[in-house]
């Protein structure tokens, strides 16, 4: 009997998400989370440096197109997790617009590139030239357009990739250099303009996760899905390069890393158990779609799989709101999804 009672208690502890852990150590969570963010921003900085080198090599005839496209894809996927952090240095540098200008309802990228390519050719490889142009031509969508259309990619991709590298360095330094945003995160108090308490940094990151799930479901999937009778495949982000679903997967992987390695030590065992598994399940649904998002939304079977992915992400968001947020003692605050 004693063994049965003990087993029942253990089972309750393993499966009941309503059982809360001890009070969250927000200072420890902050330090764990900052390690994740430093790795993510560092990965983007490294990838942009490699892309900049690849652009010079490709335009000099020293790298073939396939190898260059690999470097381009790796850079976009390194950026993808950072889309969630639309505050601090990302906001101050307008990086969401300059690195990954999207949605682009009025084809600002195409129009901006026509204007850019009218500049003297010897100026196009200079990041200063790119930085003086519209945000739409300063980042990855502009490189994608040059690579996957008849426009002349060289030497413009040299200047654009160098400009992206400059932005990546500014983001990393804005966070982690002396007097960076990390110092604000570590000095919560009444004199701090951003964080009155350590819990407010936890809330900021939790809100970033919620925002990114909204952005994936409503925008990255919702825009190309549109309606059954009128899918909009060209509304998918990065549809020309076929990266749309890989970007979503990289964003989910970034959320998973933050939850596991940043929040994990403050989540009770049931939450740890289902959070990682739930995100794994969601990412697995991407693999079974079986086609790039741009074409999948127009195929009945594949569209159903895209819709199932969208539903799963919304369910995941609801689960977080009911379990993870309360367990950490935070809820969502204002985010970029709430408007200007």
Rounded distance, CA 158 to CA 72, Å? 12
Q: Which H/E stretch holds residue 114? A: helix 108-117
Is the model's pLDDT at 322 over the cut of 60? yes
Instruction: Measure the CA dihedral 195/199/204/208, to 10°.
Output: 170
Q: Quick one: CATH architecture of 26-185? A: Up-down Bundle (1.20)
Question: What's the pLDDT at 275?
Answer: 84
Query: Confidence class of residue 13 from pLDDT cuts 50, 70 and 90?
Result: very low
∠ CA 308-313-315, nearest 5°, is 95
State the chain's mean pLDDT as an integer.
91
Residues 285 and 305 sit within 8 Å (Cβ to Cβ): yes
Mean pLDDT, residues 313-340 taken together: 78
Which region among 68-82, 253-267, 320-334 has the lowest average model confidence (pLDDT)?
Answer: 320-334
pLDDT in tens, 284-294: 999 999 999 99
Q: What is the largest CA-CA distance in the chain?
A: 85
CA dihedral sign, ordered 114, 120, 125, 129 = negative
Percent of the chain with pLDDT over 90: 83
């Amino acid at each position: 009997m004693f063994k049965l009672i003990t087993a029942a208690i253990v089972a309750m502890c393993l499966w009941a998400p309503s059982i809360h852990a001890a009070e969250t150590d927000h200072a420890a969570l902050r330090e764990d989370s900052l390690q994740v963010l430093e790795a993510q921003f560092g990965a983007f900085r490294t990838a942009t440096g490699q892309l900049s080198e690849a652009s010079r090599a490709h335009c000099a005839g020293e790298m073939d197109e396939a190898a260059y496209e690999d470097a381009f894809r790796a850079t976009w996927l390194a950026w993808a997790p950072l889309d969630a952090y639309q505050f601090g240095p990302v906001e101050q540098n307008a990086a969401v617009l300059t690195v990954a200008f999207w949605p682009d309802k009025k084809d600002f990228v195409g129009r901006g590139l026509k204007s850019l390519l009218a500049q003297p050719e010897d100026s196009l490889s200079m990041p200063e030239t790119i930085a003086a142009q519209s945000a739409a031509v300063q980042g990855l969508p502009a490189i994608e357009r040059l690579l996957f259309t008849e426009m002349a990619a060289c030497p413009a991709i040299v200047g654009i990739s160098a400009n992206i590298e400059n932005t990546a360095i500014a983001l990393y330094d804005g966070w982690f250099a002396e007097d960076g945003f990390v110092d604000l995160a570590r000095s919560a108090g009444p004199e701090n303009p951003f964080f009155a308490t350590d819990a407010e940094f936890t809330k900021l990151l939790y809100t970033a996760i919620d925002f990114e799930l909204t952005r994936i479901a409503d925008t990255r999937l919702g825009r190309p899905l549109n309606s059954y009778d009128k899918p909009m495949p060209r509304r998918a982000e990065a549809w020309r390069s076929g990266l749309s679903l890989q970007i979503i997967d990289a964003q989910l992987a970034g959320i998973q890393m933050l939850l596991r390695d940043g929040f994990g030590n403050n989540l009770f065992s049931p939450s740890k158990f289902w959070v990682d598994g739930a995100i794994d399940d969601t990412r697995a649904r991407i693999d079974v779609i079986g086609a790039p998002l741009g074409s999948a939304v127009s195929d009945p079977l594949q569209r159903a799989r895209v819709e199932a992915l969208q539903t799963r992400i919304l369910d995941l968001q609801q689960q977080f709101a009911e379990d993870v947020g309360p367990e950490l003692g935070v809820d969502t605050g204002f985010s970029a999804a709430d408007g200007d």
